[in-house]
Amino acid sequence: MSNESKQGDRIAKVLARAGVASRREAERMIEAGRVSVNGKIISSPALNVTEKDRIKVDGADLAEPEQPRVWLYHKPIGLVTTNRDEKGRKTVFDSLPEGMPRVMSVGRLDINSEGLLLLTNDGGIKRKLELPSTGWLRKYRVRVKGTPKDEDFAPLRKGVTVDGERFQPMTITLDRQQGANAWLTVSLREGKNREIRRAMESIGLEVNRLLRISYGPFRLGDLKPGEVEELKGRVVRDQLGLSETPKPKPVRTRRKPRG
């Protein structure tokens, strides 16, 4: 078993890379005694492993990591972005088309929000895209109740603190008034829990529709609610700065001469 800090990778990272779970979920699986290395159940994620180590999850050998894959998904209203919901509500993962491999969501959209949700089979990609340091712009179409004026959004453009939590400055455009509601385009780079809704509430506005239309370079486009579209491997590699994993070359055998 390899446990030197400079050798191999952390076990949770390896599990995430293989698409078993996110790093945090993998750490919880380890603490629950569901992971073994070289025949021994481990209880701490503070362990490095290499290709020589035999890893099992729930008694089954860990599968070889696949090529990193990313999907665009149009999340409908009414689904929660979690693997299991304690209230028994339907989840995003219950609603994916048949034939989808095990995937993780990049960030979340709350139950009353809709639009673009990125899905991936790779825990490393999930972590990379969720880190604040990545700084990818997330853009939303937002409908609020009322007749706001452009100057009303000045506090949000500077950044506000709501219930002790600091929100970074948002880019907000007042697009049009439609009856008793106004449509806005809102862009931000973090995406904390219910950030836009809470920020709008802090200036007296109620959000009654929220649709994410882009996440970094990836756009919702014409995807209908519930539809999934896989990005081409080249696009994933180019946008995320990944190198292509070489495919093994076929083994050639020489024919024995006749006679």
Q: pLDDT band at 245, cuts 50/70/90?
A: very low
CATH of the domain at 161: 3.30.70.1560
Tell me the pTM.
0.74
DSSP 8-state assignment for residue 134: G
Task: Examine the domain organization and report whether 142 and 203 are in the same domain.
Answer: yes
* pLDDT band, residue 242 (cuts 50/70/90): low
- In this prediction, residue 258 carries a pLDDT of 40
In a domain, 174, yes or no: yes
Q: Is residue 53 part of a domain?
A: yes
Is 146 part of a structural domain of the chain? yes
Verify that 92 and 162 share a domain, yes or no.
no
Q: Is 110 a catalytic residue?
A: yes
Question: What span, in angstroms and rounded, lies between the C-alpha atoms of 104 and 122?
Answer: 8
**Is 259 part of any domain?**
no
Flag the least confident range among 35-39, 97-101, 192-196.
97-101
Number of structural domains in the chain: 3
Q: Of 94, 110, 122, 150, which one is the catalytic site residue? A: 110
Q: Kindly list the distances between the CA atom of residue 137 and the CA atoms of 80, 105, 190, 218, in Å, as whole numbers in the listed order.
A: 23, 17, 8, 10
34: domain CATH number? 3.10.290.10
Instruction: Say if 252 falls within a structural domain.
Output: no
What's the mean per-residue pLDDT of the chain?
86
Tokens representing residue 70 in the block: 């990313």
100 with 86, same domain: the answer is yes
Quick: pLDDT tens for 87-138: 889 999 999 988 888 898 998 999 999 999 999 988 888 888 887 777 789 9
Q: Are 75 and 115 in contact (CB under 8 A)?
A: yes
Q: Is residue 249 part of a domain?
A: no
Domain of residue 88, residue span = 66-135+221-240
Question: What is the DSSP pairing of strand 70-75 with strand 171-178?
Answer: unpaired
